[in-house]
Amino acid sequence: MKICFVSSECVPYAKTGGLADVSGALPKALAESGMEVKTFLPLYSSIQTEDYDLKPDISNQGIRIHMGRLSHDFNAWKGHLPNSKAEVYFIDCPTFYHRGELYTNQLDEAERFIFFQQAVLRILQNEHWAPDIIHCNDWQTALIPALLKMSYKWDALFKNTKSLLSIHNIGYQGRFSRDSIYGAGLPYKYYYPGGPFEFYDSFCFLKTGIMFADKISTVSQTYAKEIQTPEFGAALEGVLHDRKKDLLGILNGIDSSVWNPLSDKHIPQNYSFDSFLKKKKNKQALLDAFALPFDTKTPTIGIVSRLAIQKGFDIFKPVLEKILRNDVQFVILGTGEPEYEEFLQNMALKYPGKIAVTIGFNEGLAHQITAGADMFLMPSQYEPCGLNQMYSLNYGTVPIVRQTGGLADTVTDFTQFPTKGNGITFSEYTSDELFQAVERALKLFKNKQNWKKMVSRGMGEDFSWKASAAKYIKLYQQSKLIKQESESIKDKIYD
């Protein structure tokens, strides 16, 4: 099967969050299962082509894309995901992708990703490469299903091409001015209140994707159910509920060539469950680096996170000082909303021996915290999948999480289920429940026998991509069975 995987970020080239980890690992796992995979990514200015042995793709140079009255040219670059047969194409258009950040709030944000999606389809045409599936990820790539059904319908190349839209976070929807519909080359007549492109008086890329994709997936089973409810659906619950038949939750895996305590290149001391005592050296090095006192009896709680409301910082903020009255330390790495950056920095100044904070994005430090901490806190308001709790489990760093989305699917509370618990969970999204959960964890930490049980279960969890990749392949196969004259919304109304 031929799979075209389209994403706005991908490890090791460009990353702001978990989507990059997935895009770097899933295509690799698919290629290992015998699929022919081409991944597509914008060539952001932060990507140094020589670092990854990327070469100009001589058959895809100087391609012009028209977007309404605008037109720009791009060149393609090519390479392979590290240690993989999966090819990666990069769309090089400095006007759009040399911005310092992957995502911007600038006026042409819609055009940046319209251009990207058009460029992908143009390369496929140039290469005469007809994918069985175009696997789109999040709003930045969610117009492709509609483009296939409308603007590119004339091209017989895509006659048997189906689309899958994976939703990694329903909170980011890509909503823009209706004028962008012209730029996208989609028919404006379908923009009307409640229509397939319209969402609260805006042109919504994600809603368009949900309406037109042949299949829809999200990154955990619980989140697949949650997004069909008003609490979690971010107002798209109705549209998703209508497509329930085609919506599936598949838990992300983790790339064990990158996240594995036995071989992790970023940490001072490799270890496994059998050599668990060695983990202590990572704790010592981490605390030394931040001038925090080292004592095996004092638990260290790690946080590595985007500092966004989604991640639970609004319930963490009111109880942090109360938690700090215990014998406990925090090492926190994050970047995001200024309110939380300032708050955490102030706390670090106020409690110098107890809390260390690094504001920024630092891959190595993320690994060192995961390996060096005793516990890992993720009090998310919602969490489509979450990767850090899986990394922590495999690193013997006990997760304390709110029971939502992928956190609920991977972490089982030890107090409630002593025979299978691998971490600590709480359910209500309140500061009080978060506080109680941390207190429980601190108490459990003193009971070495129970702690070891949790650690051994976590380290034994198999989160490898193989199983999840097999589920995607099954979903691809199912989408191939959808007939052209199927009942799905897009064919019924818009043919």
Cα angle 313, 21, 279 (rounded to 5 degrees) comes to 75
Smallest distance from ligand GLC to CB 429, Å: 16
Residues 349-378 interacting with ligand ADP (rule: CB under 6 A): 361-363, 366
* Minimum gap (Å) between residue 347 Cβ and ligand ADP: 17
Does residue 305 interact with ligand ADP by CB under 6 A? yes
Question: What are the phi and psi torsion angles at 56 (to 5°)?
Answer: -60, 140
- Residue 451 · residue 444 · CB < 8 Å: yes
Decide: is 278 part of the binding site for ligand ADP (CB under 6 A). no
- How far is Cα 124 from Cα 127, in angstroms, rounded to an integer? 5
> Rounded to an integer, what distance in angstroms lies between the CA atom of residue 39 and that of residue 25?
11
- Kindly state the smallest distance separating residue 308's Cβ from ligand GLC, in Å: 9
Angle at 80 (CA atoms; ends 78, 86), nearest 5 degrees: 115
List the one residue from 93, 333, 356, 407 that touches ligand ADP (CB under 6 A): 333
Give the nearer residue to ligand GLC in terms of CB position, either 35 or 167: 167
Angle at 140 between CA 388 and CA 1, to 5 degrees: 80
Say whether residue 260 binds ligand ADP (CB under 6 A): no
Nearer to ligand ADP, 17 or 82 (CB): 17
Q: Which residues bind ligand GLC (CB under 6 A)?
A: 17-19, 22, 168-169, 219, 252, 383-387, 406
Cα–Cα distances in Å, from 27 out to 81, 119, 430, 480?
8, 20, 38, 19
DSSP, collapsed to helix, strand or coil, labels residue 66 as strand
Q: Which of 125, 151, 335, 450 binds ligand ADP (CB under 6 A)?
A: 335
Which residue's CB is nearer to ligand ADP, number 161 or number 217? 217
**Residue pair 304/388 in contact by the 8 Å Cβ criterion:** yes
Q: Does 53 contact ligand ADP by CB under 6 A?
A: no
Q: In angstroms, give the least distance from the CB of 19 to ligand GLC.
A: 5
Q: Is the Cβ of residue 147 or residue 469 nearer to ligand GLC in the bound state?
A: 469
In the complex, what is the shortest distance from the CB of residue 433 to ligand ADP, in angstroms, rounded to a whole number? 21
Question: Which of 387, 400, 434, 475 touches ligand ADP (CB under 6 A)?
Answer: 387
Site membership for ligand ADP, residue 379 (CB under 6 A): no
- In 308-404, beta strands by DSSP E: 329-336, 355-359, 375-378, 398-402
Cβ distance to ligand GLC smaller for residue 53 or 363: 363
**Under 8 Å between Cβ of 173 and 234:** yes
Angle (nearest 5°) at CA 472 between 471 and 478: 90
Footprint of ligand ADP on this chain (CB under 6 A)?
A: 17-19, 21, 304-306, 333-335, 361-363, 366, 385-388
